[in-house]
Amino acid sequence: MTTLSPQTQTSIEFAADLIRQSKHAVILTGAGISTPSGIPDFRSSGTGLWSRDEPLEVASLSTFRTKPNLFFDWFRPLARQLFEAKPNSAHHALAELERRGYIKSIITQNIDALHQKSGSKTVIEMHGTMQTLTCTQCYHKAEAGPYIASFVECGEIPRCPKCGGVLKPDVILFGEQLPQAAWFMAQKEARNCDLMLVAGSSLEVLPVAGLPMQALDRGAHLIIINNNPTYLNVRADVSILDDVATVLPAITERVLNG
C-alpha cells in the first residue's frame, strides 16, 4: 500500500471537492496513465521511446510510405506491449467516475484503447487507435486483432484481404494531421467544461497541450496529476506530482464516498 504525504492527501480532498461541484468535467490523459500497464512513454529520459530512436526516422508518414519494413521493425515490440496491456487502476477510476456521471468525456493522447477496455464510453482519441487498420491502397478498414496477433508473433506485415496492400495502423504518425472530427470535439469539450483534469501528460505536444489553456481562458478549474511539472502547474487549482495509478483511485474514492 502506497503511503501518500499529508500534502498529497489534502490535494486529493480538494480535487475531489472540485469534481463533485463541477457540472461538466473533462479529462485529458497522456502516456503517463498507461505506463503502469507496461506501455512505455515517449519522452522520459532514458526510458522513453524517443531517448532510443529518432522519431522522424522510424515513426513518420514518409517512412511508412517509402520504407514500411523499417516502421514495422521498430513498431513490433511496442505493438506487443500495446496488444498485451490491461487497464490499470487509473483507467478503472476514470471509468467509474464517468459511469457515476461525474465526468463527461476523456480526451486522450494514447492509442492503446485502455480507457475503452476499462469501461469508459466517451473517449476522444487525438492520436488515433491501434484497434483498426486501413489499407494504403484501397482504404479498406479492418479490425486490428487478428493481424496484430500474427504480426506480434511472426513479424508478418499486415496485408489487405481485398487488394494485398499494406495495412497501416490507424495511429497518427509524424507528418500526419490530427483527425479533424476528434480535434473539433476536443476543442468543444475544452471550451465548454468547467473543470479539466490532466492525468499523466507532460503537456509538451501541441496542439493538444493547448487544450487546458482554452479551458482556463473560459474560467474552468484545472487539476494536474503527473510525475513531473508541466508548463501549466502554476495555473492549476490542484497540482499533484505523483503516480496517477495511486492518486486517481484515491480521488475517486473520495468523490464517491466522501
Told to judge if 127 belongs to the known catalytic residues of this protein, a careful annotator would answer yes
Q: What string of H, E and C letters represents the secondary structure of 37-81?
A: HCCCCCCCCCCCHHHCCCHHHHCEHHHHHHCHHHHHHHHHHHHHH
**HSE of 253, CA atoms in CB hemisphere, 13 A:** 10
Alpha-carbon distance of 168 to 133, in angstroms, equals 5
Catalytic residue among 92, 127, 140, 221: 127
Strand 25-29 and strand 128-135: pairing? unpaired
Alpha-carbon distance of 244 to 8, in angstroms, equals 12
The dihedral formed by the CA atoms of 182, 185, 191 and 196, expressed in degrees to the nearest 10: -60
Write out the three cell numbers for 58: 522510424
Alpha carbon 75 to chain centroid, angstroms: 18
Rounded to the nearest 5°, which phi and psi values hold at 88?
-105, -175
Write out the three cell numbers for 22: 463541477
Alpha-carbon distance of 1 to 9, in angstroms, equals 14
Alpha-carbon distance of 138 to 145, in angstroms, equals 20
Rounded to the nearest 5°, which phi and psi values hold at 246?
-100, -45
Q: Which residues are catalytic?
A: 127
